[in-house]
Amino acid sequence: MPYTVVPANINEAFSVSQPKITANFIAINTAISVDHETFDAAGQGKHKQVSMPIRGAGLDPITAANEMMLYTKNNALGVPAMFIKQQDIAAGTEGTDFTTATAAANGTCTLPCGIILKWGTGTALGGATGYLNTFVTPFTNNVFSVTITQIGAAANYDLVKVVTGTINITEFRATSYNTAGGATNYPIYYIAIGN
C-alpha cells in the first residue's frame, strides 16, 4: 500500500483527507510490524528478529568512513550467508562471509574480524624434516599460528613435537619424537590461524 501525501492541497476537505490518513497509518503499522513488536504491544518498537533480503550477485555495497555494514548474499557455494564490510570500502569489493563454515573433520571458517581458522587431521613424522601437511584450502595472505595435537598413543613415541620448517598459506611441516629412533608417520590434529 503506497504512502499518500495528505492533504493533496490546501483546499482538500478533511472528509477527503481522513481515509488517506487512515491508509497511511495502516501502511506505517504494516511496515513497523515486520520484525518488530507492533504498536501497543509490550516492548513495542523493539526488534523481534532481523530479516535481510538476499542481495543480487555483484551488488556489494559501498561503505562510507566511520560505518560498517551487515548484509546477506549467496556465498561461493550459492548458499545464503551473512557478510560484514569494514568502513570506507568501495563498491564491488566483497565483504567477509562470516557465517559459512566447513562442518567436517577438515574444515575452515572466517571470523567477522577477517581471521581465518582451519582445522583438520594430518601427519607428524619422526626425523629432522617432519611431514609436509597441506591445508584443504589455502589461506589468502598469512598463517599466524599452527598448533598440533597427537591422536591416540603409540609405542616408542613421546608427544608429537612441533610444527617445523615450512609454514605458509598452503602447508606446514610437523615432526614427532620417536624414542626408538625410527621415522614412522604419526597421526595429528591441527588448528591453524591466519588471514
Per-residue model confidence as pLDDT tens for the chain (195 residues): 577 888 888 888 989 999 999 999 888 888 888 999 888 888 888 888 988 888 876 667 788 888 888 889 888 888 899 988 888 777 777 788 888 888 889 999 999 888 999 999 998 887 777 888 999 999 999 999 999 888 876 655 555 566 667 789 999 988 877 666 666 778 889 999 999
Whole-angstrom Cα distance, residue 152 to residue 187?
Answer: 8
Angle at 109 between CA 114 and CA 152, to 5 degrees: 130
> All 3 cell numbers of residue 170?
598452503
Q: What is the pLDDT of residues 73-123, one digit of tens each?
A: 888 888 899 988 888 777 777 788 888 888 889 999 999 888 999 999 998
Instruction: Region of 190 please: left (phi>0), alpha (psi -120 to 50) or beta.
Output: beta
Boundaries of every domain in the chain: 1-49, 54-97, 107-194
107-194 has which CATH code?
A: 2.60.40.3940
